[in-house]
Amino acid sequence: MPICIAPAGRELTVRKIGADEKIKKHLRELGISEGSKITLLSSSGGNVIVVVKEGRLCLDKSLAGKILAC
């Protein structure tokens, strides 16, 4: 499921990132890659705030829709 529709407060494992290589590289640098753990803090209008390792990131709805997790 895309992280933009996942329930808030739940730890998720990233399964697939459906984006081009440039965006995947940028997300890897931020700590989001296939197999990584993230926690969804909130989702509002498709935009999401996630905890990655010890930091928080805000992702827009188009990018959040490309990150699939379970």
Residue 53 has pLDDT above 80, yes or no: yes
Q: Do 52 and 36 touch, CB atoms closer than 8 A?
A: yes
| Pairing state between β 67-69 and 11-17 | antiparallel
CA atoms of 46 and 29, how far apart (whole Å): 23
Residue 46 has pLDDT above 80, yes or no: no
One-letter identity of residue 47: N
Looking at every residue in the chain, the average pLDDT score rounds to 93
Locate the domains of the chain by residue range: 3-69
Per-residue pLDDT of 1-16, as tens digits, reads 899 888 999 899 999 9
Domain 3-69, CATH class in plain words: mainly beta
This prediction has a pTM of 0.88
Task: Indicate the helix (H) or strand (E) that contains 4.
Answer: none
CA atoms of 50 and 26, how far apart (whole Å): 16
